[in-house]
């Protein structure tokens, strides 16, 4: 019995030490390491084949450089002040068929993590709907949720929570 | 003892071996609040020669029993019987003990030790049960848990859960670790570590796999990982968000929440990622599925009525249009988890801005709020239905806590540093 235990221990410990393989993820830019920032705007390597439209997207004088939509508590409707921002990105997608985005919905940290994930999804979906109605193609947009897991501001109180109730617009390949 | 006994205990050791690792830094401490009025008084005499071991067997047994809130430990000071013939029952009657635990430890060979223990009925002056276990010294805690299970089962008639494991997520700095530990928080070991969030771990019914949600690829994806080999696969990585895994009781399928077809809706998928099938169909949010132990029903959270509430649907029917609403008190009832007998469920109830663990009897719809903390999350039933493990917050830090089914006993399981959240109580070991 003791011998058997010893062998099991070695097998298990060596298994414990082995690297887990990175899974295949459908529909997302490849080559992103585990350490890549979710909340940032880096969705993969900026290689030499980078489309020219990125200069337009990152022009600080363009509304396209603005990438976040904020919400009221318990709300997922896009407020009037963010309408032009969302529609500008929608028109950009309409005019640049090869461009595509991922919309990440976020919530504050009150309540169930899974339910907040669903609420964040609703926020991202509301932006997506507005964009497709304005001419962007469905296939250009993936709406996902990060729920309460990636807060932009840490702590408690409305000034913190209001920054975390948002949808971020990330261009693929940027 | 019989060959069968050795075979079963050997299987248990192999199962538990993966808990012994270099990662056992996150030791949990236990504090107990309150307690039931009628606890069983038990005296545990330190076993003969156990002071020669690195680990006190009887201390682990005593801690296990005390955490349930069902026992009161009687100090054996001055008395040290180790065999039935050495027991003077009158002494223990005088100290108010109903039951007495005695035993001895004997070195067998190499690092193997034999632990003999007996549980004595003080009133009847007879032995209730006893056991002899031979283990390597690295497995002394597991042996003590096994003995505590035997004592618990003899004195309460319920299945003991001291040999089970728990899973949870530990956040330290910007690192997230999915950890598995013994039910008392010891032998913690990281299954996977990332710099991106991990949520919603779920044990397979055989305790060999964990499903969980990882954000490592910029969106939530459901993985299933095998504990022994560390192999893992993405079982739900569809367009949109993938989350909230719950195993079917036969371990063949998972209920998951997907958003690719609009909204957050519940789907069934085979454990290998094949055979996707839509289960719920609403215009609102349907999430947090929990399978009934017989596999016929799923509890879930839905806001179809205007606020998040717990609903139940039959798994057989393809549409959840006639799902039954189960919770009615308050405007926020989420995170349901079925009890092992399928007769009740635990969930989080919000009242006056507080989030608390509650239990509802499905038949009578009677609700009991079990905690009075501020931010409780992720309640999970013990496999004997007597305790509920949950996450709560103290001084801005996430910790694990457990409360008895009747709300009488609560305990904190805390780590020194870091936030601990998303607990899930594992199943009974396969040898039980």
Residue A141 sits at the chain B interface (C-beta within 8 Å): no
Report how far residue B430's alpha carbon sits from residue B432's, in angstroms, rounded to the nearest whole number.
5
- Selection from B161, B118, B163, B116 nearest residue B139 by Cα: B163
Residue A47 lies in a domain: no
Buried b (16+ CB within 10 A) or exposed e, B51-83: eeeeebbbebbbbbbbbbbbbbbbebeebebbe
A75 CA: distance to closest CA in chain B (Å)? 13
Task: Indicate whether A155 belongs to any domain.
Answer: yes
CB contact under 8 A, A12 and B243: no
Is residue A91 within 8 A of residue A134, CB to CB? The reply is yes
Of B18, B194, B287, which is closest to A12 when you measure between CB atoms?
A: B18
Interface of A with B in 30-89 (CB under 8 A): 32, 34-36, 38, 43
CB-count exposure of residue B124 (10 Å: 0-12, 13-18, 19+): exposed
In this prediction, residue A174 carries a pLDDT of 83
Instruction: Give the start-to-end residue ranges of the domains of chain B.
Output: 35-156, 165-425
* Cβ–Cβ pairs < 8 A, chains A and B: 159
In a domain? residue A122: yes
Interface with A, mutate which of B219, B255, B300 (most A CBs under 10 A)? B219
pLDDT (tens place) for every residue of chain A, 174 residues total: 344 433 333 333 333 333 333 333 333 333 333 333 333 344 444 444 677 788 889 899 999 999 999 999 888 999 999 999 999 999 999 999 999 999 999 999 889 999 999 999 999 999 999 999 999 999 999 999 999 999 998 888 888 889 999 999 999 988
pLDDT digits (tens, 9 = 90+) for B229-280: 999 999 999 999 999 999 999 999 999 999 999 899 999 999 999 999 999 9
Distance from CA of B200 to the nearest CA of A (A): 8
Task: Give chain A's domain count.
Answer: 1
List the CATH number of the domain containing A75. Answer: 3.30.1330.60
Task: Indicate yes or no: CB of A38 within 8 angstroms of CB of B218.
Answer: yes
Residue B192 has pLDDT above 80, yes or no: yes
Average pLDDT, chain B: 89
CATH topology of domain B35-156: Rossmann fold (3.40.50)
The CATH H-level (homologous superfamily) assignment of domain B165-425 is: TolB, C-terminal domain (2.120.10.30)
**A129 in contact with B at a CB cutoff of 8 Å?**
no
**Inter-chain residue contact A43 with B218, CB threshold 8 Å:** yes
Complex confidence, ipTM: 0.88
> Cβ contact (<8 Å) for A118 and B13?
no
Contact B244 A25 (CB under 8 A): no
SS3 assignment, position B103:
strand
pLDDT at B152 over 50: yes
Domain coverage including residue A166: 52-174
Task: Flag whether pLDDT at B316 surpasses 90.
Answer: no
Tokens representing A19? 């690297």
Chain B contact for A13, CB < 8 A? Answer: yes
Whether residue A57 lies inside any domain: the answer is yes
Element (H, E) at B178: strand B175-182
What is the rounded distance in angstroms from the CA atom of residue B3 to the CA atom of residue B142? 19
Count of Cβ atoms closer than 10 Å to residue B193 Cβ: 16
Chain B nearest-CA residue for A149: B197
B350 contacts in chain A (CB < 8 Å)? 111
Residue partners of B328: CB distance under 8 A and separation at least 6: B309, B365
- Which among A23, A125, A145 is the nearest to B233, CB-wise? A23
String of DSSP letters for B251-306: SSEEEEEE-TTSSBEEEEEETTS---EE----SSBEEEEEE-TTSSEEEEEE-TTS
């Amino acid at each position: 019995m003791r011998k058997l235990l010893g062998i099991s221990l070695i097998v298990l410990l060596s298994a414990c030490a082995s690297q887990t393989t990175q899974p295949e993820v459908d529909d997302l830019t490849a080559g992103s390491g585990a350490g890549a920032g979710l909340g940032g705007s880096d969705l993969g390597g900026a290689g030499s084949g980078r489309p020219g439209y990125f200069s337009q997207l990152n022009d600080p004088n363009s509304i396209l450089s603005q990438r976040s939509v904020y919400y009221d508590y318990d709300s997922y409707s896009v407020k009037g002040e963010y309408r032009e921002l969302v529609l500008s990105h929608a028109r950009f997608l309409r005019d640049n068929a090869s461009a595509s985005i991922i919309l990440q919905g976020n919530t504050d940290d009150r309540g169930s993590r899974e339910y907040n994930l669903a609420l964040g999804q609703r926020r991202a979906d509301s932006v997506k709907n507005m964009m497709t109605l304005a001419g962007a193609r469905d296939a250009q947009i993936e709406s996902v949720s990060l729920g309460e897991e990636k807060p932009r501001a840490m702590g408690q109180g409305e000034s913190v929570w209001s920054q975390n109730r948002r949808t971020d617009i990330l261009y693929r390949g940027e | 003892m019989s060959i069968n006994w050795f075979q079963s205990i050997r299987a248990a050791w192999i199962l538990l071996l993966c808990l012994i690792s270099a990662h056992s830094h996150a030791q949990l401490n236990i504090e107990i609040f309150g307690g039931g009025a009628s606890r069983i008084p038990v005296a545990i005499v330190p076993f003969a020669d156990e002071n020669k071991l690195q680990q006190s067997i009887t201390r682990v047994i005593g801690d296990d029993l005390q955490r349930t809130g069902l026992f009161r430990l009687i100090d054996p000071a001055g008395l040290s019987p180790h065999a039935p013939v050495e027991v003077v029952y009158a002494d223990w009657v005088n100290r108010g003990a109903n039951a007495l635990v005695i035993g001895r430890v004997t070195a067998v060979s190499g690092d193997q030790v034999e632990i003999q223990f007996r549980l004595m009925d003080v009133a009847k002056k007879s032995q209730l049960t006893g056991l002899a276990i031979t283990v390597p010294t690295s497995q002394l805690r597991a042996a003590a848990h096994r003995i505590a299970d035997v004592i618990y089962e003899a004195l309460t008639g319920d299945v003991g859960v001291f040999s089970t494991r728990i899973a949870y997520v530990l956040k330290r700095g910007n690192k997230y670790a999915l950890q598995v530990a013994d039910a008392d928080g010891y032998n913690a070991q990281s299954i996977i570590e990332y710099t991106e969030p991990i949520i919603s771990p779920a044990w397979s019914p055989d305790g060999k796999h964990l499903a969980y949600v990882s954000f490592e690829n910029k969106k939530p994806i459901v993985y299933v990982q095998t504990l022994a080999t560390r192999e893992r696969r993405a079982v739900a990585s569809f367009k949109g968000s993938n989350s909230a895994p719950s195993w079917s009781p036969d371990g063949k399928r998972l209920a998951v929440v997907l958003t690719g077809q609009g909204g957050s809706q519940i789907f069934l998928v085979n454990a290998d990622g094949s055979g996707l099938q839509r289960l719920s169909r609403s215009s609102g949010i349907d999430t947090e599925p929990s399978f009934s132990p017989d596999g016929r029903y799923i509890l879930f959270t839905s806001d179809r009525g205007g606020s998040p509430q717990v609903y139940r649907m039959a798994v057989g029917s393809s549409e959840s249009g006639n799902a039954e609403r189960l919770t009615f008190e308050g405007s926020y009832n989420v995170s349901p988890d079925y009890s092992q007998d399928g007769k009740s469920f635990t969930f989080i109830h919000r009242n006056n801005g507080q989030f608390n663990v509650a239990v509802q009897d499905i038949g009578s719809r009677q609700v009991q709020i079990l905690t009075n903390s501020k931010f409780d999350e992720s309640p999970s039933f013990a496999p004997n239905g007597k305790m509920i493990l949950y996450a709560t917050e103290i001084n801005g830090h996430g910790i694990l806590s457990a409360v008895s089914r009747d709300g009488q006993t609560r305990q904190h399981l805390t780590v020194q540093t870091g936030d601990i959240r998303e607990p899930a109580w594992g199943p009974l070991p396969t040898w039980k």
